[in-house]
Chain A
Amino acid sequence: KAGVTQTPRYLIKTRGQQVTLSCSPISGHRSVSWYQQTPGQGLQFLFEYFSETQRNKGNFPGRFSGRQFSNSRSEMNVSTLELGDSALYLCASSLLASGPQETQYFGPGTRLLVL
């Protein structure tokens, strides 16, 4: 069974631009969560989608948005990029997102560099 895939793997943008990242969950998984990893900060929760609905949202500004499609693939968008948005963006999928006891499987991440 294929794992979680994220595209692109690397991205370079300039301040003020916008970016869209994509995540394809494991086949059959209906939940996708997004995290931002920066040095010294660990992974910070962005949002979670289940069956095309946002179920949970972290403490990030409105420039960060996401959506989920009927095939469970998810995209996240960051508008008006700032230097501080440079990070590794990880997505994780799970079958039903029934709680933390259900294992979440992470993709390899998209490395975003904002110049």
Chain B
Amino acid sequence: DQQVKQNSPSLSVQEGRISILNCDYTNSMFDYFLWYKKYPAEGPTFLISISSIKDKNEDGRFTVFLNKSAKHLSLHIVPSQPGDSAVYFCAASGETSGSRLTFGEGTQLTVNP
């Protein structure tokens, strides 16, 4: 069973516009959420995270929103840049998970100049 789902395999946006990547989860024990970015031939790199005690976390152009009642989180990138083109993975962890992360399938973001 896929406990973390990213329903959009791909997303294409224009440079300068907002990119919104979505993620849904089913396990109510998850209490910490992360976004990773992956370029081809490289490993995923940590981007931003949010604890379940918050509903928003911002870091520069990147903001993650968490809606616990809907079990939904989203990553907003404003403004989008061509260098943001990558695969974005949503990940989740629970109190008893330790460092184990449960990942979504990933969304390929393409930012067109």
Contact = CB atoms under 8 A, between A and B. Distances in A.
B89 interface: yes
Interface stretch (A13-21, A63-71, A91-99): A91-99
Interface stretch (B65-73, B74-82, B93-101): B93-101
Interface residues of B, number: 27
Given A33-B100, A41-B105, A43-B89, A100 B34 contact: yes
Interface in A1-41: 4, 31, 33, 35, 40-41
A45 B100 contact: yes
B57 interface: no
Contact of A107 (B43, B101, B102, B106): B43
Contacts of B49: 100-101
Contacts of B89: 42-43
A43 B43 CA distance: 11
B43 A100 contact: no
A90 B44 contact: yes
Contacts of A45: 100-102
The 6 closest A-B pairs by CB, nearest first: A106-B43, A100-B93, A43-B103, A42-B103, A42-B105, A97-B99
